[in-house]
A and B are shown apart, each in its own frame.
Chain A
Amino acid sequence: MLAFAFKRFLGAWPTLLILATLAFVLVRAAPGGPFDVEKSLPPEIQANLDRQYHLDEPLAKQYGRFLAGLAQGDLGPSFQYKDYTVNELIATGFPVSLRLGALAMGVALLLGLSLGVIAALRQNTFTDYAVMATAMTGISIPNFVMAPLLILLFAVALNWLPAGGWEGGHWKHTLLPVIALSLPQVAYIARLTRGSMLEVLRSNFIRTARAKGVPERWVILRHALRPALLPVVSYLGPATAAIVTGSVVVEQIFGIPGLGRYFVQGALNRDYTLVMGVVVFYGALIVAFNLLVDLIYAWLDPRIRY
């Protein structure tokens, strides 16, 4: 198991390198520099700026500098927020996004798994149909549609909850964003769990367990749950990516000062280093999460470990 973990750990590095390189190439391939938007600057100021941000060096050297910075965890200065480094901006925005994302993921797993299992155990009953219909709704209504609808209902019409803002993560301000962010994932996970649970319950080894006289409750908990969870575990990687992506719009809609909002602002302002930094940061996060998922999977499935 340890050897397996180490191998997977090593395997994550090329992915990270490719990620960083891709981000670098994209940014450098972009037409125009970061300061082109403003009125054309006098040549000497332009040269000064270029020197300050090392834009006058050959590309290879810039790439080396970028990688060296990354190795030390330094993402460079922001082009737009002149007095801040990208690291500082991430440090302000990420805790907010993390809290939102972690809550959404928790809700998605808790609700998705239980609904999926319940639907599978009551296959073709009213409960099953109700859960599946709800899941279909969750999948078909994107979170950027769900979010305004929630605001319209709970903030504008009923006036129960605030329409936006963060206030340090007070529950009144987190509730609606978390619902909007987690609902599609609840739906996906519920459908996935139901499907895999049904498949597992049809398998031969479940019949064996029943033939041994194991009570149904234990058949589910001890024999069926673990294999039924495996597809959900594999889905955790894509789910993280989806929640990170979703948080970009949800933060935008609810006016939450998270990393996603910085990203969109940075993108609209052509803040190259900030945008690149966020992409690399989130990319690394997703890679790390995928690694974790691989390890959980191996822990659950004895056939993978060796």
Chain B
Amino acid sequence: MSSVENIQTMNAATPGRGLWHDAWLRLIRNRAAVSGAVILGFMALLVIVGPYLSPYAFDHIDWEHISTPPDLASGHVFGTDAVGRDLFVRTLYGGRLSLAVGLAATLVSLFIGVAYGATAGYLGGRTDSVMMRIVDILYAMPFMFFVILLMVFFGRSLVLIFVAIGAINWLDMARIVRGQTLSLKQKEFIESARACGVGSAGIIARHIVPNLLGVVIVYVTLTIPQVILVESFLSFLGLGVQEPYTSWGALVNEGAQGMESAPWSLMFPAVFLAATLFCLNFIGDGLRDALDPQDR
């Protein structure tokens, strides 16, 4: 009872903060999302710190232990791969890359999508319909194939992976942001800003973008796993990062090839990849429920 009263008095005093506070309370009450966040945090920490704890470098070849199962005595806690490299270190290095690509490419798509969507939605009219028609057309393209083409023709580079993946995912973001902007535009506080002589760019930056924050946060958390998936997909096909560097997709690919004799080389990267995606999806779901409670 007292917590309810607190929220309500808070709502009355500062509507903006109260809303976020409310959402926060709902989020931390969501066990799946909280455990997802905790596990993800732990994995991120492991991926960053873990490689320093192992005596092996990610490209070090241990000629005495080629394709050995997990073994504490030799220090290869996840075993070694077919050429004798330590899988523990490689899995964590792969994780660094997968997570980094996930974050970076999501930021790229976030930036393009928000800018494009907010502009289209805010300007409206003919500009809007032309801009959204372009999105519709791009939407119908088999992008994964274009990305593969790009990788084939221009060689495999990390930058290209970031750009290519970021360039695919901005479409959804643009659509969502545009829809939100359109409905926000009709709200009174935008009117009053305009009446006070704030220019279009100012209104977009100061009023529309902050109000889009909720939707965008949810969408970002749901985009990161998608991006990680795309990167792993490319790496799995051998079109992602190149040896001796690695990512979870590449490790799963290597593991799958030798899985009959060395199933651990498939299991460890597969578990890490799936666990990360699980956590991110749970967090995304939790955030959406928290920010949009009628959806439950």
A–B direct touch in complex (beta carbons closer than 8 A)? yes
Instruction: Flag if B153 contacts A31 (CB, 8 Å).
Output: yes
Task: Name the interface residues of A119-151: CB closer than 8 Å to any CB of B.
Answer: 136-137, 139-142, 144-145, 147-149, 151
* CB atoms of B256 and A148 under 8 A apart: yes
Q: CA of A141 to CA of B154 in the docked complex: distance in angstroms?
A: 30
Shortest CB distance A44–B (Å): 27
Question: Which secondary structure characterizes the binding site on chain B?
Answer: helix
The answer to the question of B229 belonging to the interface, with a C-beta cut-off of 8 Å to chain A, is yes
State the Cβ distance, B123 to closest chain A Cβ, in Å: 23
- How distant is the Cα of A282 from the Cα of B148 in the complex, in angstroms? 14
Contact A141 B277 (CB under 8 A): yes
CB distance from A81 to the nearest CB of B (A): 17
Contacts between the two chains (Cβ within 8 Å), count: 120
Query: Are B252 and A145 in contact (CB-based, < 8 A)?
Result: yes
A252 and B255 in contact (CB under 8 A), knowing A26-B150, A268-B152, A279-B145?
no
**Given known contacts A145-B274, A152-B263, A195-B295, is B154 in contact with A249 (CB within 8 Å)?**
no
Instruction: Decide: A283 and B142 in contact? CB cutoff 8 A.
Output: yes
Question: Contacting B153 at CB < 8 Å: which of A26, A245, A249?
Answer: A26
Residue of A nearest to B145 (CB): A279
Residues of B within 8 A of A147 (CB): 256
Q: Which of B174-196 contact A (CB under 8 A)?
A: none
Q: B212: shortest Cβ distance to chain A, in Å?
A: 21
Quick check: A253 and B256 within 8 Å, CB to CB? yes
Q: A142-B229, A283-B142 are in contact. Are A23 and B236 (CB under 8 A)?
A: no
B residues 116-147 in Cβ contact with A at 8 Å: 137, 139-142, 144-146
CB neighbours of B236 from chain A (8 A): 144, 249
The 6 sampled A-B contact pairs (Cβ below 8 Å) are A30-B152, A249-B237, A267-B151, A267-B152, A275-B152, A283-B141
Pick the 6 closest A-B CB pairs, nearest first: A30-B153, A148-B256, A140-B277, A140-B278, A245-B144, A267-B152
Binding site for B on A (CB under 8 A): 14-15, 18-19, 22-23, 26-27, 29-31, 136-137, 139-142, 144-145, 147-149, 151-152, 156, 195, 199, 237, 241, 244-245, 248-249, 252-253, 263-264, 267-268, 270, 275-276, 278-279, 282-283, 286-287, 290
Known: A18-B137, A144-B249, A148-B270. 18 other contacts (CB 8 A): A15-B137, A18-B141, A23-B149, A27-B153, A139-B277, A144-B233, A145-B274, A149-B270, A151-B259, A152-B266, A237-B139, A245-B233, A249-B233, A268-B152, A275-B152, A278-B145, A286-B142, A290-B140
